Amino acid sequence: MSDVVERTLSALPGLLGQQDPGAGPGGGPGRVSATSRLGGLIRSITALSSKHEEEKLIQQEQTNLKATVSAPTTTLRLMKECMVRLIYCEMLGYESSFGYIHAIKLAQQGNLLEKRVGYLAVSLFLHENHELLLLLVNTVVKDLQSTNLVEVCMALTVVSQIFPREMIPAVLPLIEDKLQHSKEIIRRKAVQALYKFYLIAPNQVQHIHDKFRKALCDRDVGVMAASLHIYLQMIKKNASGYKDLTESFVSILKQVVGGKLPIDFNYHSVPAPWLQIQLLRILGLLGKDDPRTSELMYDVLDESLRRAEINHNITYAILFECVQTIYTICPKSDLLEKAAKCIGKFVLSPKINLKYLGLKALTYVIQQDPNLALQHQMTIIECLDHPDPIIKRETLELLYRITNGQNVTVIVQKMLDYLRQSKEEYTIINLTGKIAELVEKYAPDNEWFIQTMNAVFSVGGDVMHPDIPNNFLRLLAEGFDDEKEDEELRLYAVQSYLSLLEEEDTFYPQKFLQVMSWVLGEYSYLINDGDPEVIITRLHRLLKQTFVTSETKAWIMTAVTKMSSRMSCSKTIDKLIQEFSTSLDTCMRQYAFELKHLCENKELMKNLFPLDASCDEIMVDASLSFLDGFVAEGLSCGAAPYKPHHQRQEEKLSQEKALNFEPYGLSFTSNMSSSGFTGRQSPAGLSLGSDMSGNSAELGQKETNCLKLDGVRKLWGKEGYLPKKENKTGKEDKTQPVPQDSILTAHVVDPPLMQSEQQVVSLSEEEKEKQQLASTLFVGLGSNSTISLIFESLSCHFPVIEAQSMESCQKCVQLEKVCTEGVLSGSISYHLDTDTHLEFSLTFSLSDFIRPMKMTTEDFGRLWLSFSNDVKQNLKMSPSQGSLSVALNALKQKLKLHIVEIIGNEGIAACRLLPSVPCLLHCRTHARTLALWFRSSCSALPDSLLYQCQKVMEEA
């Protein structure tokens, strides 16, 4: 565009703002005047060259818009147009909250297209918890009852995009009615709306599960497809509840694959590909670990593979999903073979997107079928040096899955190489976590272990997950079974850090420095020939560095203190004390004084810092009873008795005689809600913590000073985890009873590997390198499977024998995210002639994490008012549940509630979600219904507890 034109355009919006607002017929798309104002804005924005100019222009635009939308003369048509411009402003990142209310008004008052734009603007502007959203409910209810189908459609669309959870009951019956509507589009959108409700409040739609089934069997494909979204979610949560639907899903997929759908569902002549993918996912979930259900789907999976033969991206997408499903369900050999072939085709493809898909599939199946990795080893090696980082990344992911004790060094080296080039925070967090895990599991020797962890700490810096240094330190501190080996490891660590600190002015991340100082403080005594003075000098030098944060300085000071307890006198320490006694940093000053006083009493100091005792438990007197004498003395001298913080606050407020706008007991509740919900989210919402006894209710008085770390190592055993190869060969052996020798040879022969080794002679140097890499990477994958066990029939009875030794270990399971149910699975490996592997899985429900919470009625009242998240529901009571006290007692027993008080037909109860998230319940009976009202500081808790209550009431 020429300069002149550009300048004219940038002046446009100003000019346009003054034009007659109602000009032109603003109907169909592209009517000149309807879009010209927006068009002008867009064009001038596009022509701008700096952010500053854009800001100025948008500000001007917003001022114009603000005036227009609030002017009473503004027509709805103009309002619609303003909304689109507001959408545009927000899209560019300029908040236009002054228009939100007008969007709601437009949805309420506009004619069809205006209404639609109003709804659109609402769904774009507001979020789920926005307070203005409540104003939309009436409009939605009205439109749902409209005789105009277009309006019904719009209302259903907006409901399935954004709707306040607490208002669901207001529209639910209307939407349920729509499930029987004669038009497919209405039924389809009603199902979509119910899907939204299922996502935000699952128990509110529980009673309509049979209607979902009806939707699944709907004569229209669209309605059926919409119901699949709900089913996918429900099956993900609880596959066993929907096994009976397997045949329906299979027959639907058969019809889709067989081309029975109307032709307009095709995409590039592939019938409803996204629907196929959805169905394949559902089948995978249903067939997992269930041979009988898996059997039902073998045919259709075979057909899907067969039909997807056209070379088009969309068929690749289907094939990928198919392969995943085949490897998820119980295996069938000929299907696996076809799937493997398919993966091979992907991996070898010159198309980069397809190669990526192949690698991803390979990564998914590799643990079940390590031979596949052997087949494609050369491709994998090539991908490892691929110029596209995402291919490299996916390859590393694959290698991570096939790591064992023999190839760990090479694989970890490759991961570190990648890590050093990456600057992306998430990649660093992810990869350092994986490396640390592999290193812990498979480290071949001390040197390598420490060196690799040094690399992880240097590269991972301060972004890596804090568990990594914590785990590492605990590993060092707790050691393994062999005391001598432990000492060697610690000694090596000390030596390695000393040499790292030797160089002046080298920068290390804070976390790394903290690890170093802890290890030096704890284990530097292991160096027999070294002079402790040297170590202290190096630590002292660090303390003076500017890049060292005050947190790290505290670690270093602690290390120095520990070391000084083992030395008679040291010039450096004296100097250090002198230096920091006048430090401006109060913490450092305090450390220096503490150290000074401790140094004067070496005996006390030795008691305080015993050698190698970091794992010993220290009893902490949480009630501070040793101060009782001090307190008594103070009281006798006339000091005022101690009052807790909230009490002081209350008194202060009541003295001021002012209105109190703060909810009572705020300090108490904020304490509660802040605890327990931090940390990584694990997929099941459960995570393993440790160092706490099973029941943390008793924990209050006793705390250990051990580092809080996860017990990965213990779970996996020294040999680490190897894929379940034995099982597989065991199975084969059963079907083909051949002598052991022949099995051995049969397994050892691994065609691609052998061939490639013979060809080595004629290969170039580069190729040779790759071959070598391959042999180091894929070692221990294929040929290992020769170790096979032949199982005879297992029906015999074993004699009862005494256990030789017993190991007991306790883990604490903590609920991070409120959910109704979660499965904890794990395995125990132990060595008994052969490596044995025991898998277990435990199902926890929310009620396992609920404990009674004792309180008085007054406390209850105070807490009740301070909680904002609440859920109400009426439940039907059966005649046997008669009175309130019977019902409450049932809840008390099953859910471990504490009943605070019952008065007539009303009762209150309290419980807490471990560790200390309170939830309060108020209930009232009235004519065979039990009205439950939950309140809590955690938003998801009332909903989930209500669900548990419903279950209890149903069971009773």
Q: Which of residues 428-457 bind another protein (CB under 8 A)?
A: none
Shorter beta-carbon distance to another protein: residue 77 or 490? 77
Least separation in angstroms between CB 944 and another protein: 21
Write down the residue that tokens 């603000």 correspond to: 66
Give the integer Cα–Cα distance in Å for 121 and 311: 41
Smallest CA-to-CA distance from 787 within 723, 841, 843 is with 723
Query: Where are any strands of DSSP class E within 691-806?
Result: none
Least separation in angstroms between CB 351 and another protein: 10
Range 321-340, binding another protein (CB under 8 A): 321
Least separation in angstroms between CB 264 and another protein: 5
Number of residues that bind another protein (CB under 8 A): 81
Of positions 393, 434, 490, 935, contacts another protein by CB under 8 A: 393
Position 604 contacts another protein (CB under 8 A): no
Give the integer Cα–Cα distance in Å for 279 and 277: 5
**According to DSSP H, which parts of 760-911 are helical?**
765-777, 857-866, 884-895
* Cβ neighbours, 10 Å, residue 753: 18
Least separation in angstroms between CB 44 and another protein: 12
Least separation in angstroms between CB 685 and another protein: 16
Range 185-204, binding another protein (CB under 8 A): 185, 192, 195-196, 199
**According to DSSP H, which parts of 402-528 are helical?**
408-421, 425-442, 446-460, 467-478, 483-502, 510-523
Position 32 contacts another protein (CB under 8 A): yes
Of positions 137, 314, 526, 715, contacts another protein by CB under 8 A: 314
Position 748 contacts another protein (CB under 8 A): no
Tokens of 9: 């355009």
Of positions 15, 22, 23, 46, contacts another protein by CB under 8 A: 46
Taking CA atoms, 793 is separated from 291, 383, 719, 731, 734, in Å, by 20, 45, 29, 12, 10
Q: Phi and psi for 657 in degrees, rounded to 5?
A: 55, 30
Shorter beta-carbon distance to another protein: residue 48 or 534? 48
Position 35 contacts another protein (CB under 8 A): yes
Give the integer Cα–Cα distance in Å for 256 and 276: 7
Of positions 18, 30, 637, 638, contacts another protein by CB under 8 A: 30
Give the integer Cα–Cα distance in Å for 153 and 190: 9
Stretch that binds another protein, among 274-282, 489-497, 746-754, 781-789 (CB under 8 A): 274-282
| Contact by Cβ (8 Å): 881, 889 | no
Position 38 contacts another protein (CB under 8 A): yes
* Positive or negative: CA dihedral 332, 337, 340, 342: negative
Least separation in angstroms between CB 459 and another protein: 18
Position 404 contacts another protein (CB under 8 A): no
Shorter beta-carbon distance to another protein: residue 889 or 939? 939
| Contact by Cβ (8 Å): 598, 605 | yes
Give the integer Cα–Cα distance in Å for 708 and 6: 63
Give the integer Cα–Cα distance in Å for 216 and 356: 34
Stretch that binds another protein, among 164-172, 273-281, 400-408, 539-547 (CB under 8 A): 273-281
Write down the residue that tokens 């000098």 correspond to: 537
Of positions 3, 131, 264, 741, contacts another protein by CB under 8 A: 264
Of positions 52, 73, 93, 661, contacts another protein by CB under 8 A: 93
Position 267 contacts another protein (CB under 8 A): yes
List, in sequence order, every residue forming a beta bridge with 838; answer none if it has no partner: 828
Question: Amino acid identity, residue 110?
Answer: G
Least separation in angstroms between CB 184 and another protein: 9
Of positions 58, 78, 79, 120, contacts another protein by CB under 8 A: 120
Stretch that binds another protein, among 93-101, 575-583, 631-639, 851-859 (CB under 8 A): 93-101
Least separation in angstroms between CB 921 and another protein: 30
Which residues have C-beta within 8 Å of that of residue 562, sequence separation ≥ 6? 521, 522, 609
SS3 587: helix
Range 55-84, binding another protein (CB under 8 A): 83-84
Least separation in angstroms between CB 273 and another protein: 7
Position 91 contacts another protein (CB under 8 A): yes
Position 11 contacts another protein (CB under 8 A): no
Position 88 contacts another protein (CB under 8 A): yes
Shorter beta-carbon distance to another protein: residue 92 or 787? 92
Range 471-510, binding another protein (CB under 8 A): none
DSSP 394-410: HHHHHHHHT--TTTHHH
Least separation in angstroms between CB 83 and another protein: 8
Range 893-932, binding another protein (CB under 8 A): none
Stretch that binds another protein, among 1-9, 131-139, 290-298, 944-952 (CB under 8 A): 1-9
Give the integer Cα–Cα distance in Å for 482 and 217: 64
Smallest CA-to-CA distance from 949 within 847, 818, 802, 810 is with 847
Least separation in angstroms between CB 91 and another protein: 5
Position 5 contacts another protein (CB under 8 A): yes
Position 725 contacts another protein (CB under 8 A): no
Write down the residue that tokens 């789907």 correspond to: 297
Q: How far is CA 169 from the centre of its chain?
A: 30
Of positions 385, 388, 616, 954, contacts another protein by CB under 8 A: 388
Tokens of 927: 């004519």
Least separation in angstroms between CB 147 and another protein: 14
Position 427 contacts another protein (CB under 8 A): yes
Position 29 contacts another protein (CB under 8 A): yes
Position 684 contacts another protein (CB under 8 A): no
Tokens of 609: 């810092």
Tokens of 859: 């406390």
Position 421 contacts another protein (CB under 8 A): no
Of positions 163, 242, 249, 265, contacts another protein by CB under 8 A: 265
Shorter beta-carbon distance to another protein: residue 323 or 453? 323
Give the integer Cα–Cα distance in Å for 431 and 455: 12
| Contact by Cβ (8 Å): 93, 60 | no
Range 347-366, binding another protein (CB under 8 A): 352-353, 355-357, 360
Shorter beta-carbon distance to another protein: residue 270 or 477? 270
Tokens of 798: 């074993």
Q: How far is CA 90 from the centre of its chain?
A: 30
Stretch that binds another protein, among 150-158, 571-579, 669-677, 699-707 (CB under 8 A): 150-158
Question: Amino acid identity, residue 382?
Answer: E
List, in sequence order, every residue forming a beta bridge with 829; answer none if it has no partner: 837
DSSP classification of residue 897: P
Taking CA atoms, 367 is separated from 181, 285, 431, in Å, by 49, 18, 19
Stretch that binds another protein, among 15-23, 134-142, 310-318, 658-666 (CB under 8 A): 310-318
Stretch that binds another protein, among 270-278, 328-336, 566-574, 902-910 (CB under 8 A): 270-278
| Contact by Cβ (8 Å): 263, 244 | no
Least separation in angstroms between CB 299 and another protein: 23
Sketch the per residue contact string, 151 through 180, with another protein: x for CB under 8 A, - otherwise. Answer: --x---x--xx-------------------
Of positions 208, 239, 252, 277, contacts another protein by CB under 8 A: 277
Of positions 76, 124, 137, 684, contacts another protein by CB under 8 A: 124
Which residues have C-beta within 8 Å of that of residue 723, sequence separation ≥ 6? 367, 368, 370
Q: Which long-range contacts (CB under 8 A, 24 or more apart) does 445-449 make?
A: 446/485, 446/488, 446/489, 446/492, 447/492, 448/409, 449/489
